[in-house]
Amino acid sequence: HDWFSDVLTGGLILGLCISYAPQHYRIISKGSSEGFSPWFLLLGSTSSASGMLNIIVMQQAIIRCCHVYSALDCLETVAGVIQVGMQWLLFSVILVLYIIYFPPHLKYVTLDILSHDSQPPERVKTNLKSDNWRLSIILSWIVFIHLAFCTFVTFVLILDSPADPSGSVRPQLRLWATFLGVSSAVLAALQYAPQIVHTYRLKLVGALSVPMMMIQTPGGFIMAASIMIRPGTNWTTWIMFLVAAIMQGILLTLCICWKVRQRRLHIDDFGHPLGTEFPT
């Protein structure tokens, strides 16, 4: 038993749940997901899904042998898979909450109807979906299709490859795992770019959770190290977490700057004067 690795992995799984809780709670309690870039959620969901499938491929021989172990030994053996799978699940929940709590006043195009007298224009909501809402729906479908396709290919390749007693990964599986790992790292690097640009232009924190990022930024480096020391993994398995931690640190710094600006301007995270509610 590698107790150091087990304690580290257990702590990281618990830390993941704790770190995502403020973000999930913030969206639900505010009743709004305003401030998120749909591209950020698309890239993050596909990146974490690729990372999860990568470690499943890399450790598939170990997973297949799980039935010969005790329940505790099996849990210890697949702890790395659980760790990365939890990362995917908790991030995907943000995407689901983003769609559920998308601000109603931003879902449809509104028109200003000019009156014939001196009255101010009347704002009328149409049945035409706004560009951002339509984009969010399309990207959500892309996330689902990507997950379904990559999962299908992964399990077809695994089931078509007999287990190797030595625990080594067959060439075709290693090639697929490398594709998943590299694409996961590239998507993770690109993931934060649209959110950083969106937050920079918005000049508001919005529904982003600063406490979550304060926990996850250093946690990302620790998670990369934890995956690195796991048997049956290589750089394609942990590079995603290292890249994501660096990019998340940049976003966190930007949000802290906007927090300071908001306090100076006496506005909340959504740009409304303190003491007022944002529209629903």
Q: Helix-strand-coil percent breakdown of the chain, rounded to 5?
A: 70, 5, 20
Give a yes or no: residue 220 inside a domain.
yes
- Containing structural domain, residue 226: 3-105+131-265
User: pTM value?
Assistant: 0.76
Give a yes or no: residue 249 inside a domain.
yes
Nearest by Cα to 186 from 59, 94, 52, 51: 51
Tens-binned pLDDT, residue by residue, of the chain (280 aa): 567 777 877 888 888 899 899 999 999 998 999 888 899 999 999 999 999 999 898 888 777 777 777 777 777 778 888 888 998 999 999 999 999 999 988 888 877 666 666 666 666 777 888 999 999 999 999 999 999 999 999 999 988 876 665 556 678 888 999 999 889 888 887 888 888 998 999 899 988 889 989 988 998 888 888 878 776 677 877 887 888 889 899 999 999 999 999 999 999 888 888 865 544 3
Burial 132-149 (b: 16+ CB within 10 A, else e): ebeebeebbeebeebbee
Give a yes or no: residue 257 inside a domain.
yes
- The string of pLDDT tens digits covering residues 41-59 is 999 999 999 999 998 988 8
Nearest by Cα to 34 from 242, 198, 207: 207
Give a yes or no: residue 91 inside a domain.
yes
The three-state secondary structure class of 127 is strand
Give a yes or no: residue 29 inside a domain.
yes
Give a yes or no: residue 280 inside a domain.
no
Q: Under a CB-based contact definition with an 8 Å cutoff, are residues 20 and 90 in contact?
A: yes
The total domain count for the chain is 1
How far CA 269 is from CA of 9, 26, 206, in Å, comes to 34, 11, 5
Nearest by Cα to 244 from 7, 46, 67, 75: 46
Q: Under a CB-based contact definition with an 8 Å cutoff, are residues 268 and 262 in contact?
A: yes
